[in-house]
Amino acid sequence: MSRRHIDITPELMLRAYRAGLFPMAESRGGDKLYWLDPERRGIIPIDAGFHLSKRLLRTTLSGPYVATADVDFPGVIAGCASPAPGREDTWINPEIESLFLSLHRMGHAHSVEVWEGDRLVGGLYGVVLGAAFFGESMFSRARDASKVALVQLVARLRLGGFTLLDSQFLTEHLAQFGAHEIPRADYKRRLAAAVMTPADWISRPYPAMLEAEIRALRASGEA
């Protein structure tokens, strides 16, 4: 994995994502950002191969949570940057937060929020270029909240015609959904095609369409 320190702007970030790189800080309190270009890249399947259990399907469609998109982007990134059990430090420092807030205002960064009543209990955010969604981070303050956010994200990506969901790294949490690693060269071939493909980020899909897509997601994982 290559890594080097540079000064980063929102415009430079977009060029970097197009080239297959992404920035991280060493810690929440770190003052340096680095480009990362992993030899193996984590991706999450969109069209087929996404694993959605019956229990999580029920929780997503009729559980205690309500999901939204782009309603509280600052709250989501703050949640991702906050310490949590098993994650006492994060790579999201104040400069990273500021850069992603700028990308959100530019229309290139989006969030999915999960609410329990009026309390934000989970969510995720990432960058959109063409038909590629670059997942950055997620958080959860209640059981299955981040999982519901991911299911909601994938359903929206399917509705919008996206072809690539980049998770950067493979974790046990993501592997349960069918996430896997591919070589860097393979990833960059997929990326080049995806960023040139038109797609629509759908913040507020019709509820019936979204529910149908979530059910189709469950069916595609069983095929």
Q: Tell me: the pLDDT tens digits for 158-176?
A: 999 999 999 999 999 899 9
17 CB neighbour count, 10 Å cutoff: 22
The predicted model gives 179-193 an average pLDDT of 97
d(C-alpha 72, C-alpha 113), whole Å = 7
Is residue 151 predicted with pLDDT exceeding 60? Answer: yes
The pLDDT of residue 3 is: 47
Is residue 146 predicted with pLDDT exceeding 90? Answer: yes
Report, in angstroms and rounded to the nearest whole number, the Rg of the chain calculated over CA atoms. Answer: 16
The pLDDT of residue 2 is: 46
Which pTM was predicted? 0.92
pLDDT (tens digit, 9 = 90+) per residue, 78-120? 999 887 666 655 768 888 899 999 999 999 999 999 999 999 9
- Phi, psi dihedral angles at 144 (to 5 degrees): 70, 5
Percentage with pLDDT > 90 across the chain: 76
- Phi, psi dihedral angles at 151 (to 5 degrees): -60, -45
Is residue 185 predicted with pLDDT exceeding 80? Answer: yes
Please give the structure tokens belonging to residue 67.
């999901």
DSSP three-state, residue 92: coil
Percentage with pLDDT > 70 across the chain: 90
Name every residue whose Cβ is closer than 8 Å to that of residue 204 and which is 6 or more positions away in sequence. Answer: 69
Sole residue written with tokens 């770190």: 30
DSSP three-state, residue 20: coil
146 CB neighbour count, 10 Å cutoff: 23
Beta-sheet pairing, 119-129 with 109-116: antiparallel
The pLDDT of residue 1 is: 47
Q: Are 149 and 138 in contact (CB under 8 A)?
A: yes
The pLDDT of residue 46 is: 93
| Phi-psi domain of 206 (left: phi exceeds 0; alpha: psi -120 through 50; beta: other) | beta
Quickly state the pLDDT bin for 7 (edges 50, 70, 90): low
Is residue 6 predicted with pLDDT exceeding 80? Answer: no
The predicted model gives 55-64 an average pLDDT of 94
